[in-house]
Structure 1
């Protein structure tokens, strides 16, 4: 445990770090990539360009400092980050250079305000926090490798099938090149792809939700093609998968990971998704139908229109055939061929009015996935309705920490 003086200094300087968290995150990555350019192979460069990764780092730093005497208070953040670290292959020996660079970034941004005493205290705090991550990640590695079909690092898979699910979503089915068993997973988890793309200097790592129920002989991910819009370019990896890889091509994946997983209580379940956020909750829906066919399930999905609506027919079939499943679909901008009552149930967005009308009881377990603004809107509606936060779970495809934080 840290000494009282160190704790006092760290906690008293948290507000300053919080105020400058974005600048510290930006400076940190500038310094880190200058020292260790090979780390470009690990970090998502799109998130770097958009500033999201820097923001997430800044949050993690001040949140850890704020709760330095009780890291259990930010356990969800630690678990989420550790799952991703295990998936992308972060090593124990990489932590020292990260700590050294983080302190340099704090010093550069705060200048004389970051005294030697403050830097020393934060150095001790970083070592304490890093140990917590390292120990948890070692446990995750051992758990992953020791399970039937498990492995550490990356393993080669070939594309067995490609299936178009909508105008911009395609499913990819993968089988292991070595022909051996594959690890099972929990509904809601993801695979991590390491893609070596022709013409790209560094490898690109991406997390993609598994969209089938566990226990199959293959893995399925469903990928949205990210097209250029506003100031954002085409998605490098998603366009590579959609336009360049073919059946039989080989790709590298680490074993399934993630903390956004389906519980197995008997409480009613409400699955709420927006756009490509349907992917992890679809795995949950399929799993519930197979494993808990008497558990009440409400599936609520928001899409732009029918052309962008992935897995439309599959969900509709489950709604028709399963007594315990009810679905409700919102289109924000339906096409002229989209028919209300047939293709979708409401024009507009998912809001509190929809939730109250569709969800049988607020004493349910809620799983949310979609854009950050989408999930913040749903979270606020659920809290306003009086749903317990302990019964609300979410997955973000961006490296944010907690929805309740800016």
Structure 2
């Protein structure tokens, strides 16, 4: 267990908040520059998130949140759990932490210059290792649970693409089975898989993709949206076919369906953000749970609506009610199926505020801007924070929403 930080160290970290507000992004950008120059650790990172600046921004927010809450670290428990799960998915190990410590302290010293006194650097060293020990301990627990679970594993495991299905325009589903022929760990609905991929011309790349299949001991399915210019998504769409081998780590993530499930559920998504909800819906269907479910989804056109037939079948069977929004082109020449309401345009905060069921648990997944708007609308409408769950596609959860 990590030793508590002393009062002086916490006071120094708290006093650094204005400096982090002004220079946090510069510090994390420099930190990643140092890490990526080291071949022993460079391959652990999603380089696309480096090129677009997402990972440095996310870390800057996390560091700022850590400093702001240094006297109330319990407020950051959710963020710590998300980080630990991501680290496990990427197979981060205790020996990787010293590299990050050296890069962070070096970046603070370089960016702040003379303002980075020995006292400040000493305090940040203590604060870093305090948090690192918490993460290492939690990650060890998760690794041990994966190793002990039926079908579980630790590290990278070879999976073969058993099938490839064009799920919708721009979205392809891949069903993956273990190359060793043994069972797989039943994931918790909502979890994701992490991949180590060798992309020609780009080298080793890391990506996370939500599992879109119901838990089972035989296979996983992921559903990937092609992003023009996306290094991995383009390669998967253009190149990966049945029989291809990919390296996968065990399911991870804390954006999961509770067991037993809440008494009432709303799944709110846009674009490919629906993927974890397909796993959750499949799990509910297989368990026979009689839970009221409302499914709200935004897409561009009928052609881009992934899993539309599956959702309509569930609605026709009375297992959910659905609101589908089409931002560019709505279906023509036919009435809406039973249990489905179709809308033209996007899901708006105003519309959502008129639909609120404060007793339901809301799960939200989609582009960052969409989630910020939806979370803000629900909070303004009186939905308690503990009934709002959300998942980010990016490198880390936005500390502002944590």
Which of the five TM-score ranges fits, normalised by the shorter chain?
A: over 0.9
Give the alignment partner of residue 242 of structure 1, picking from 201, 218, 237: 237
Alignment-derived partner of residue 225 in structure 2: 224
Are 1:273 and 1:368, in contact at CA under 8 Å, matched by a contact in 2? yes
Deviation at 1:344, TM superposition (A): 6.4
Deviation at 1:384, TM superposition (A): 1.3
Give the alignment partner of residue 10 of structure 1, picking from 8, 13, 38: 13
Are 2:83 and 2:396, in contact at CA under 8 Å, matched by a contact in 1? no
1:124-165, Cα deviation, whole Å (9 max, x unpaired): 111111111111111111111111110000100111111111
- Cα distance change on mapping 1:22 and 1:266 into 2, 3 Å: closer
SS at 1:171's partner residue? strand
Deviation at 1:58, TM superposition (A): 1.3
Determine whether 1:290 maps to 2:292. no
Deviation at 1:61, TM superposition (A): 1.7
Bigger Cα displacement from structure 2, 380-389 vs 393-402: 393-402
Deviation at 1:335, TM superposition (A): 5.8
SS at 1:102's partner residue? helix
1:209-234, Cα deviation, whole Å (9 max, x unpaired): 0001112511111111111xxxxxx1
Question: Hey, what's the Cα distance between the residues in 1 that align with 2:344 and 2:246?
Answer: 40
Determine whether 1:27 maps to 2:6. no
SS at 2:243's partner residue? coil
Alignment-derived partner of residue 323 in structure 2: 328
Bigger Cα displacement from structure 2, 334-343 vs 60-69: 334-343
Are 2:65 and 2:399, in contact at CA under 8 Å, matched by a contact in 1? no
Count residues with an aligned counterpart: 396
Bigger Cα displacement from structure 2, 63-72 vs 155-164: 63-72
1:325-363, Cα deviation, whole Å (9 max, x unpaired): 11110011116758674696111121244335555x321
SS at 1:246's partner residue? coil
1:294-341, Cα deviation, whole Å (9 max, x unpaired): 1100000000111111111111111101x2411110011116758674
Deviation at 1:25, TM superposition (A): 1.0
Normalised by the length of structure 2, the TM-score is 0.94
Normalised by the length of structure 1, the TM-score is 0.93
Deviation at 1:40, TM superposition (A): 2.6
Question: Hey, what's the Cα distance between the residues in 2 that align with 1:311 and 1:340?
Answer: 19
Are 2:349 and 2:373, in contact at CA under 8 Å, matched by a contact in 1? no
1:52-67 equivalences under 5 Å are 52-67=54-69
Give the alignment partner of residue 88 of structure 1, picking from 72, 87, 90: 90
**Structure 1 unaligned runs (5+)?**
228-233
